[in-house]
Amino acid sequence: MKLFDPEQFRQKFPLIASYDQTLSVQSDSKIGLIYFDNAATTQKPQQVIDSQQEYYQGYNANVHRASHHLSNKATYAFEKSRSLVQVFIGAQSVKEIIWTKGATESINIVVQSLARNTLKAGDEIVLCASEHHANIVPWQMVAEQTGAVIKIMPLNRQGYIDITKIDTIISDKTKFVSCAHISNVLGRINPIKQIIAKAKSVGAISLIDGAQAVAHLPIDVQALDCDFYVFSAHKMYGPTGIGVLYGKKSLLESMPPYQGGGEMIKTVSFTQGSRYNSLPFKFEAGTPNIAGVIGLGESITFLTPLLNDVAKDYQDYEQKLVAYCYQALSSIEEVQFIREGCPDIAVIAFTLTDHHNHDVATTLDTYGVAIRAGHHCAMPLMAQLKLDGCLRVSLAAYNTTAEIDYFIATLRKILQSDLSPHDDLRVVAGKEQDKTKAGDLTKVLATEMAGIIALFTKTKGWDSRHREIMLLGKKLTRMDKALRNETTIITGCESLAWLKVELTSQGLYLFTADSDAKIIRGLLVIVLAAYNNKTAKQIADFDINSYFKQLGLMQHLSPSRGNGLLAIVDKIRLFATPV
């Protein structure tokens, strides 16, 4: 009997299975959900969901701290998960498995408990150019604290760490080397064994970020001989809010605790100080995420047979998906992959010529296709590639070629639709104008608020509202390129956006705005209609949350969420601060 069957595997995920249906791109209505954002987080199988519910319903109690039956049962399940992790990654001892909130906290523990206490001015930390922010910012913080220097391993044309350059980067000054096993943007399996060996040859400590690897590859930390390995449960079909720090026992024993509190102590005294607990509890202060740990154990039980199957049906199916999707995207003329060649796992990053990433992603969402747009927490990589961001399709083994076909057909439909950009077109109220002055436009927009409210009141559903926002984006006159500068830019928008202000002799504010994303331009029309031709006090008193609630956009695009709205509103209010 085969351990992996694509259709049976899919049915194990209730959220995914609930959307099973015949896919057709002919209809304009949203079909349900095609989930292509698995590099951000994977969906959860029923057995993982059940394991957490069973804990809360059947034996909810704190662990380690009581002698009653419920606590003993909870402690057994909690520690069983630790043993499962030990075997899953090939650690030598359960004492080397530390529970954390996720890979990010795991990295921070190593940085603050070890690196901060050992680095000196002039010591070097080596990272990779494609790292996730979680494996950059903690090292930048400790470099500032200690005077250490960060060096960067470059990438080759295919997006792998350039192994031919590491001898010039990793040297006797190197004290820590930290890199991703697999890039969350490029989908490349880095040559970490050679990097770890090089680090070891100069006496440096190695940390591997395995967040993108654990759902796709068997991991053996002893064979790799890394000093630390970190990962999160939610990227391997497990719960959010729980992760693992693996560390060699000798290093963990040398490190002071990261936090103080319950469980991480043996004795506490006002007169004699405190003595810390032994591993692994020394790093697990406070009541842990018990349900999360149990859920992680269940995800390992679910995943281990698939990764260890000698037939490799699970891995082969994932490879089939990535090759199929990559080839299908390659057939679209506008697609530009950010690195050469098909990736090693199903994480495919690309841009579309003359189309903004956020416009494409938000439009795909109206057709039920969930992909990621932005910098993917890899801004240094985007800067190196001279990109503001990109689109990322990331697949899991519950995805299908039929879903890919639907995605590709939908993408082609979007590219051929009237939602394609016309950057040089000047449009006001749906009529083409050659050269509409910004002042004229703001007067038009100032009278449009009632019309916008009426429009969105009768527009039902997010897909229809999204379409109206995109069409409104066409009505916004593009700012002169000379005005799109550091003075007018709105910081905090993932898309580029600019705002210019004029104050009339009557004390009224006139705002002109622009963005490189049509979805943001449409939102700017809505925002400017609310704020233009108002006094500073009127702007300060205006309830933007009620306005967006009235438009039916609060759930999707409220100022408290993304899309740069909060930054736009904040800059307007900053310009119009009452004296």
Residues assigned a catalytic role = 377
Is the peptide bond preceding residue 45 cis, with omega within 30 degrees of 0?
no
Q: Are 189 and 344 in contact (CB under 8 A)?
A: yes
- Phi, psi (deg, nearest 5) at residue 222: -70, -40
DSSP 42: -
151 SS3 class = strand
Least Cα distance to 76 among 193, 84, 120 occurs for: 84
**Which residue from 423, 393, 561 is spatially nearest to 493, judged by alpha carbons?**
561
Phi, psi torsion values for 121, nearest 5 degrees: -55, 130
Query: Residue 259 is encoded by which pair of tokens?
Result: 């936090």
Q: Is 489 exposed, middle or buried (0-12, 13-18, 19+ CB in 10 A)?
A: middle
**Can you read off the two tokens belonging to residue 365?**
């969402």
The secondary element (H helix, E strand) that includes residue 364 is helix 357-366
Contact 205, 233 (CB under 8 A): no
Q: Which residues have CB under 8 Å from 436's CB, separation 6+? A: 426, 428, 477
- What is d(CA 569, CA 404) in angstroms, rounded to the nearest whole number? 38
Residue listed under structure tokens 């233009």: 532
Q: How far apart, in Å, are the Cα atoms of 366 and each of 34, 94, 161, 286?
A: 11, 46, 37, 43
Structure tokens at 435: 């050269």
Residue appearing with tokens 């990227």: 235
Count the neighbouring beta carbons within 10 Å of the beta carbon of residue 125.
Answer: 25
Q: Give the separation between CA 280 and CA 486, rounded to whole angstroms.
A: 50
Cross-strand bridge partners of residue 124: 149, 174
What six digits make up the tokens of 431?
């009529």
**Beta strand pairing status for 174-180 and 205-209?**
parallel
Q: How many helices (H) and strands (E) does the chain have?
A: 24, 19
Contact 210, 231 (CB under 8 A): yes
Query: Hunting for tokens 């591997």 — which residue is that?
Result: 208
